[in-house]
Structures are given as structure tokens and as C-alpha cells.
């Protein structure tokens, strides 16, 4: 069971995982050793899945975001696996979700420029048959982040 210090530690770690244990301990009012043990427990129990560096997309040369909405006439396991494999081999596709509603999937694609979307599109359709693909270009990021709410964790 998590307590408020655990939740605060999780919030701090997902905001900046490079904080030292000493800094984290000070922020949650624990000794360094007690804080270190809590972090280790949070990692061992799976609350911290991994620690990563978030790269600046503009500096990395992929400032453009396109959302591709996909409809398919195929829902068999073998097609889904082929689709999963096709998109996993394309590094520009950074997120993929299966949906309810009018579309079956949505892909978040990061690109050097919008014209590069056609390259990604062709890579997908060479590997799997799609019924319909509709793409939307992100004009402005209003909110972005990798963090999740910590108050629901038990």
C-alpha cells in the first residue's frame, strides 16, 4: 500500500528522474537511506516501470506531429499481429492505440516535416491492407507529458 510520501516520490521521479536521492529525501522529509529503500521498493513492485531521458524533438529534427486515424476491414489475430509488427518497425511512430468508435487505430507519428508522412504511410501499406487512413497535422501542442496522476495508486 502506498502512502503520501510514496506518491510524492513517484511524482518527483516522473518529473525529473535525475534528482539525487539526497534531493528527493529532502523534498519528502526522509533520511537518505529511508528514501533510497522506498525508491527501490517502488521499482521492485513495478510502480516505476523504467527511467528514461526525454529528448527535445526539435533538436532531434522531428518537430512535426501527425495523427493517423486508421480503419481496417480485418480484425483477425494474424492481421493484428502483422499490423503490430509493421508499425513497431517504424521509429517515427511513437504511439499506437486501438480505439472504440469510428476508427480502429490512432498512430502518433513524429516527423522532420509533414511531407515525410508519405514515407511512413507507404511503409505501413506495403505490409498490411488498410480500409481507410485519415491524417491530421498537429498545429500546436497545448499539453504534453509522460507523467501520470499519482493519487490513484494504491
pTM reported for the whole predicted model: 0.89
114-142 confidence digits (pLDDT tens): 999 999 999 999 999 999 999 999 999 99
Domain 4-44 has CATH 1.10.10.10: yes
pLDDT for 126 equals 96
Q: Are strands 132-137 and 93-98 parallel, antiparallel or unpaired?
A: unpaired
List every span in the chain annotated with CATH 1.10.10.10.
4-44
Domain 64-137 has CATH 3.20.20.70: no
Q: Environment class of residue 96 by beta-carbon count within 10 Å: exposed (0-12), middle (13-18) or buried (19+)?
A: middle
pLDDT for 122 equals 97
82-108 confidence digits (pLDDT tens): 999 999 999 999 999 999 999 999 999
Instruction: Count CA atoms within 13 Å of residue 59 on its CB side.
Output: 3
Q: Are strands 132-137 and 105-111 parallel, antiparallel or unpaired?
A: unpaired
List every span in the chain annotated with CATH 3.30.70.920.
64-137
pLDDT band at 26 (very low <50, low <70, confident <90, very high): very high
pLDDT for 35 equals 98
60-88 confidence digits (pLDDT tens): 999 999 999 999 999 999 999 999 999 99
Amino acid at each position: 500500500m502506498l502512502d503520501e510520501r510514496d506518491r510524492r516520490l513517484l511524482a518527483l521521479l516522473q518529473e525529473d528522474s535525475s534528482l539525487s536521492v539526497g534531493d528527493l529525501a529532502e523534498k519528502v522529509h526522509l533520511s537518505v537511506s529511508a528514501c533510497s529503500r522506498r525508491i527501490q521498493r517502488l521499482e521492485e513492485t513495478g510502480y516505476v516501470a523504467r527511467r528514461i531521458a526525454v529528448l527535445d524533438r526539435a533538436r532531434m529534427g522531428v518537430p512535426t506531429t501527425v495523427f493517423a486515424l486508421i480503419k481496417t476491414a480485418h480484425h483477425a489475430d494474424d492481421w493484428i499481429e502483422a499490423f503490430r509488427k509493421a508499425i513497431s518497425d517504424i521509429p517515427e511512430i511513437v504511439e499506437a492505440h486501438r480505439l472504440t468508435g469510428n476508427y480502429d487505430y490512432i498512430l502518433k507519428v513524429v516527423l522532420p516535416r509533414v511531407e515525410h508522412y508519405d514515407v511512413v504511410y507507404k511503409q505501413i501499406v506495403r505490409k498490411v491492407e488498410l480500409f481507410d487512413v485519415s491524417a491530421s497535422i498537429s498545429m500546436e501542442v497545448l499539453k504534453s507529458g509522460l507523467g501520470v496522476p499519482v493519487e490513484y495508486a494504491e
